[in-house]
Amino acid sequence: MFWFKLKAGALQLTLFIAVVIALLLTAFILLINTHKRFNIQTDFIIETTKNTDRGINYALNNITPLNDSISVDLDDEDYKTLNVYREFWGVFEKVTSVSKIKNNILKKTALVGGNQPENDRTALYVQDNNKPLVLVGNTKIEGVAYLPKQGVKPGSISGQSFYGSQLIYGATRISNQLPEIFSETTTQIDKIENLISGISQEQFLNIKDGQTYKNSFLKPVQIVFSNGIIHLNSVQLKGNILVQSKSKIIIDASSTLKDVVLIAPEIEIKNNVKGNFQAIASKDILVGKNVVLEYPSALVLNEKSIEEPIDVGLIQSKIVIDDDTIITGLVLYLGAPKANNYDVQVELKEKSKIIGEVYCNQNFELKGTVYGAVYTNNFIARQFGSIYQNHIYNGTILVNELSEKYVGLPFNNSKKGILKWLY
């Protein structure tokens, strides 16, 4: 028998190689396991994202309770949950979807309104008050028009006749009462002044000129409140912030407001203001010259309801939009019944544009352009010292110029759509 004597270094080398191989095998096994876990985690994240979208779509297509969270059945494992919460932000609905799969939690929040029909979009709806609609000057209406039984005709004001080649560029149908706004929306508008009740002290915000304030819609609302006048000067407000005054809010051009809600009896938007916000008042909204309010903005005047018709001379609640102003969104006037009403409740002056919708259940004076739809009880034209009922003088309504993706005022029969994703 032969014996070979090996050097100790060879044994060490063998052990080293074995250890290296073991480490490589362990690393390979860990890599495979990590890759599998990563794929599972990625699938969970993708599924969580899809479920949040599913929650938003559920709220758009189903009746869900207001100011309450509901669980959406996923027909899946217990560790997967989906909850939807619906509330209002200003005059629009806000839907929050919360999806959870194990440790993965994702939230999405959307501002929700009403979709217009894809076909035969309404350009004009004039309530039937037994008076025809009269068009004068360079008035143009393009789209489906709902008119009183007396129809539409050309007219003349102080020698100015109707200069168009056609009265209505679109189909005409017989109107009745104005379409009803979504009932929850009108209820929200009626009680919006009471939103601050029950708000904790930590949610009140003291703002200073020259400062910037931001608040996510996934956090509790912050409130700027005063019994006196709130003058927004050189301040930036963005997000889930409510500004409320018991008397008046004034916005200067030096301020920038984005997605906030303003509530006061009187709201004055000075010349050259730019931003997007909701302004909700009970007496007056005055919009200056060269103002640009981006989508989805809203000017809403909810006049205090009175059981008996009021004398129009006592209350002059109104929305006035001055020259060269552009508002993209909604202009809404909800007024109390008025006897012998020859005044103007919503006035759109020359060279100004509304890209969206106007809903006025009283008198609307249209001297500018609406790229979208107008719903009104009556038109007023004040020219050469006289008042003309149900007349439009040099006004324009073009629904075909409004994007088909526009989402705005919800009616009782409207399908819901997303105005904007919040943050």
How far is residue 368's CA from residue 358's CA, in Å, rounded to a whole number?
12
Parts of the chain with a pLDDT under 50? 305-309, 312
Give the integer Cα–Cα distance in Å for 44 and 106: 11
What distances in angstroms separate CA 173 from CA 55, 97, 122, 263, one per listed residue? 38, 40, 10, 37
**3-state SS string for 380-394:** EEEECCEEEECEEEC
Residue 308's pLDDT is what?
44
d(CA 343, CA 364): 9
Distance in angstroms (rounded) separating the CA atoms of residues 350 and 293 = 17
CA dist., res. 168 & res. 387, Å (int):
23
d(CA 60, CA 111): 11
pLDDT digits (tens, 9 = 90+) for 71-125: 999 887 788 999 999 999 999 999 999 999 988 899 999 999 999 888 889 999 9
Cβ count within 10 A of residue 80: 17
Q: Kindly report whether the peptide bond that precedes residue 148 is cis, defined as omega within 30 degrees of 0.
A: no
- pLDDT for 39 equals 61
Measured between its terminal Cα atoms, the distance across the chain in Å is: 84
User: pTM of the full predicted structure?
Assistant: 0.88
pLDDT of residue 306: 44
